């Protein structure tokens, strides 16, 4: 295919593709690439795993299996199963001996992050992990703004428990959290935020 431009210039598909790749690499953002937030986190986890930086995995969706078929010469097929409520957050793992635990959520809102995105079991789990000195946080994605934040769970919990707010204002998140600059690899460089968070914590508590 040849595209004819008003000025008479032409471009081949190949040139167009090159151009497109260049443009995409400029916009270093998973959202522009049609990648969902969760997928972007998963590929970031793969990046960290492959480079021996951290071992973080998404937990499988909990399912109650009721009936399974075992057809001959082929794989077992689950024929009846139900979604169960998770008892933890979605992601956990290890980084330099530290236990990491987090949840990733997105909103289309532009000024605040609705608390309805979180569930009591997640809050309870985060509280338990904090008691054990785990590094607990949430990754918050404002899809309309294309901004992503690391926000410590202990702050989320205290807002959740005051019970007066339906949402966390973006201003609070920007001030108390750590904004992540989206990259190519890793897409969501949350380990950088953890480093900064630990540093701040150590300075704060004089650990």
Q: Of residues 31, 54, 104, 194, which one binds a second copy by CB under 8 A?
A: 54
Measured between alpha carbons, how far is 24 from 19 in angstroms, rounded to an integer?
A: 9
Buried b or exposed e, range 89-116, using 16+ CB within 10 angstroms: bbbbbebeeeebbbbbbbbeeeebbebe
87 makes contact with a second copy (CB under 8 A): yes
Which residue carries 């480093």 as its tokens?
Answer: 195
How many other CB atoms are found less than 10 A from the CB of residue 42?
A: 19
129 makes contact with a second copy (CB under 8 A): yes
Cβ at position 61, least distance to a second copy in Å: 7
Size of the site for a second copy (CB under 8 A): 41
Cβ at position 130, least distance to a second copy in Å: 9
- 201 Cα distance to chain centroid: 22
Cβ at position 80, least distance to a second copy in Å: 6
Q: Of residues 7, 10, 61, 166, which one binds a second copy by CB under 8 A?
A: 61
Cis? peptide before 126, omega within 30° of 0: no
Annotated binding site for Mg(2+): 88, 90, 103, 122
Give the footprint of a second copy on this chain (CB under 8 A).
49, 52, 54-55, 57, 59-63, 65, 75-84, 86-88, 92-101, 125, 128-129, 131-134
């Amino acid at each position: 295919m040849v595209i004819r431009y008003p000025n008479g210039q032409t471009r081949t598909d190949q040139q167009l593709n090159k151009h497109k790749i260049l443009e995409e690499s400029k916009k270093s953002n998973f959202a522009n690439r049609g990648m969902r937030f969760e997928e972007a986190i998963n590929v970031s986890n793969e990046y960290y795993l492959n480079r021996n930086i951290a071992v973080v995995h998404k937990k499988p969706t909990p399912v109650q299996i009721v009936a399974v078929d075992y057809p001959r010469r082929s794989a077992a097929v689950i024929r009846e199963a139900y979604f169960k409520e998770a008892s933890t957050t979605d992601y956990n793992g290890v980084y330099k001996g530290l236990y990491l635990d987090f949840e990733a959520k997105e909103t289309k809102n532009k000024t605040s992050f609705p608390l309805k995105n979180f569930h009591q079991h997640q809050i309870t789990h985060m509280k338990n992990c904090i008691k054990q000195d785990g590094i607990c946080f949430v990754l918050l994605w404002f899809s309309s703004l294309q901004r992503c934040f690391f926000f410590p769970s202990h702050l989320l919990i205290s807002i959740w428990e005051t019970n007066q707010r339906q949402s966390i204002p973006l201003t609070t998140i920007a001030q108390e959290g750590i904004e992540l600059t989206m990259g190519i690899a890793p897409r969501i460089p949350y380990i950088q935020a953890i480093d900064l968070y630990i540093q701040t914590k150590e300075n704060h508590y004089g650990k």
